[in-house]
């Protein structure tokens, strides 16, 4: 189970829409396993395939490290889409692909999400609170959307110096990464 490098802000793959998974293959299962390993290694609670350079609609979530969710099993969401949402809440978010940048994002408080699990079974699940937020954040990723896109122009401007550093590869993390600067050098 290799730990995959996480792609940093500025990488094109983070802005591309992932392709739907047509069939659960051994390669998809292997990707899911590697994504869980990568997410846990980075102390994350959610990870989308785009973040590890794969344009497939695959998401892994594990919020069981948070006290009120300690009994929740890890989730794999394939081809996930929100089909219903209500209420709103504003909570600070961060992202493994945008280290040290956090800001408040408004999202629906309660959602209904449809997805396929690793057995190919179609599931409809209601989520609220933190789980709803993480699901929406990761679905945004597979659609090429970052949490920064939900911020006002003024708030985005405040983060520009740090975003510029991340894009240049001037970032230290406890997990392996691929920066936009590495791509520019390789091209």
138 is catalytic: yes
Backbone angles phi, psi at 157, to 5 degrees: -60, -40
| DSSP one-letter code for 19 | B
Annotated active-site residue in 138, 165, 172, 182: 138
Residue in this structure with the two tokens 């079974």, named with its chain if needed: 121
What does the alpha-carbon distance between residue 61 and residue 69 come to, in Å, rounded to a whole number? 12
Q: Classify burial at 90, counting beta carbons within 10 Å of its beta carbon; exposed 0-12, middle 13-18, buried 19 or more.
A: exposed
CB 186 within 8 Å of CB 121: no
Going 39 to 43 to 47 to 49, the CA torsion angle's sign is negative
Beta-carbon count within 10 A of 19 CB: 13
CB 118 within 8 Å of CB 32: yes
Q: Find the radius of gyration of the CA atoms of the chain.
A: 16
**Active site amino acids:** 138
């Amino acid at each position: 189970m290799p730990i995959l490098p996480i792609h940093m802000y500025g990488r094109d793959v983070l802005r591309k829409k992932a392709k739907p998974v047509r069939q659960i293959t051994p390669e998809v299962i292997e990707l899911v396993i590697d994504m869980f390993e990568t997410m846990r290694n980075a102390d994350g609670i959610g990870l989308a395939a785009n973040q590890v350079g794969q344009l497939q609609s695959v998401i892994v979530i594990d919020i069981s490290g948070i006290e009120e969710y300690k009994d929740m099993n890890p989730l794999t969401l394939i081809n996930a889409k929100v089909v219903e949402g209500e209420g709103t809440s504003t909570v600070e978010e961060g992202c493994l692909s945008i280290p040290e940048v956090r800001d408040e994002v408004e999202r629906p408080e309660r959602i209904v999400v449809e997805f396929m699990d690793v057995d190919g079974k179609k599931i409809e699940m209601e989520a609220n609170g933190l789980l709803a937020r993480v699901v929406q954040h990761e679905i945004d990723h597979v659609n090429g959307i970052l949490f920064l896109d939900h911020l006002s122009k003024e708030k985005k401007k405040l983060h520009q110096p740090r975003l510029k550093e991340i894009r240049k590869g001037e970032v230290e993390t406890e997990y392996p990464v691929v920066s936009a600067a590495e791509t520019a050098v390789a091209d």
